[in-house]
Amino acid sequence: MKKILVTGGTGFIGSHTAVELQQHGYEVVIVDNLSNSSVDVLDNIAKITGTRPAFEQFDLADQARTAKFFREHHDLSGIIHFAAYKAAGESMEKPLEYYRNNTGSLINILEGMRDNGIRDIVFSSSCTVYGQPDQLPVTEDSPFKTAWSPYGNTKQICEDILRFSSQLLPVRVIALRYFNPIGAHESALIGELPLGVPNNLVPYITQTAIGKRECLSVFGNNYNTPDGTAIRDYIHVVDLANAHVIAVERMIREKCKSRMEIFNLGTGEGYTVMEVIRSFERVSGVKLNYKIVSRRPGDVEKVWADTRLANEELGWKAVRTLDEMMLSAWNWEKALAQRQ
């Protein structure tokens, strides 16, 4: 059985990917410092797949500890690196923590790969590297725009580190640029678990609907879009997870066309904030309490993916609709409420 390291595997996208990997016959080892996730996720992965993944709790920004891990796991067939800080707003308050954690962890992992002959890494990148693109839908060769937050900048820097590493070291990379991952596993056993007040739209919507938050603030309705609210390309987390399995398989089967490949992962469809709210109301039957407030600093007006490269090269396509995304997110929120 091929063994894959999933860093950040108890987190939102990591946990869904661990499930899909196991269901495709891979052995999964999770490393996570549990800074933004719970160890209970492992039990829930086991409930879905029948197998509890191996787990080691430590901080990948710790160089010596990470080196020890890699010495003990030199038989890894590949790595999917999710573990990172991810809140743009928070990164404005803690810029150095973001730089140290996000770039330091990646460097420690690359050292572990170099020193132990592990070749393949899939990296969690983000459409944030594009900023507000000049052309939509945005293709992978669109240039990076100056990042507005340290968080976004760490994704750009990490891609740069990976590009040179792929040229100068025996390392091969697939960077996946996610658009807006939402939703939850159909079992409602795993999903997004934001600590404290959510920054992201969909957890804020479901928490408001369940009564944990009073009212959703819609950030701006004077954008140049059909209803004035901002447009994003929302993608179901299970579709996203499946793309990671395909990326790992592509590397293992020697199908990569260059030492670093980059793919957008989205549906290719853009929806406004109001369309997301309407979808939620439709599938849940709950009327959402929301108000329009001013724009959130740093938000781009509109972005959606050109997904042709992923569709054609990976043979992957996001298949779940916005309604399915919202319904699964709602089922997850309700399941959480029952557990608490």
CB of 27 to ligand UDP, least distance (A): 32
Active site residue 85: no
Nearer to ligand UDP, 90 or 140 (CB): 90
As a whole number of angstroms, the distance between CA 41 and CA 226 comes to 40
Q: Would you tell me which residues interact with ligand UDP (CB under 6 A)?
A: 180, 199-201, 204, 216-219, 230, 232, 273, 296, 299
As a whole number of angstroms, the distance between CA 128 and CA 84 comes to 14
223 Cα distance to chain centroid: 26
Residues 6+ away with beta carbon under 8 Å from 208: 214, 215, 216, 288, 289, 290
CB of 52 to ligand UDP, least distance (A): 31
Sign of CA pseudo-dihedral 189, 192, 196, 197? negative
CB of 227 to ligand UDP, least distance (A): 12
Catalytic residue among 151, 178, 204, 271: 151
**Position with the least CB separation from ligand UDP:** 230
CB of 200 to ligand UDP, least distance (A): 3
CB of 12 to ligand UDP, least distance (A): 12
Nearer to ligand UDP, 22 or 208 (CB): 208
Nearer to ligand UDP, 55 or 204 (CB): 204
Nearer to ligand UDP, 53 or 150 (CB): 150
DSSP letter at 28 equals E
Distances (CA, A) of 5 to 14, 28, 33, 221, 317: 10, 6, 14, 42, 24
Residues 6+ away with beta carbon under 8 Å from 212: none
**Alpha helices in the chain, H assignment, sequence order:** 12-23, 40-49, 63-72, 88-93, 95-116, 150-168, 201-210, 237-252, 273-284, 308-309, 322-339
63 Cα distance to chain centroid: 24
CB of 237 to ligand UDP, least distance (A): 13
Distances (CA, A) of 213 to 87, 185, 244: 19, 23, 33
As a whole number of angstroms, the distance between CA 108 and CA 59 comes to 10
Nearer to ligand UDP, 292 or 335 (CB): 292
Nearer to ligand UDP, 248 or 326 (CB): 326
Yes or no: say if 186 and 238 are a contact pair by the CB < 8 Å rule: yes
Task: Give catalytic residues, as residue numbers.
Answer: 151
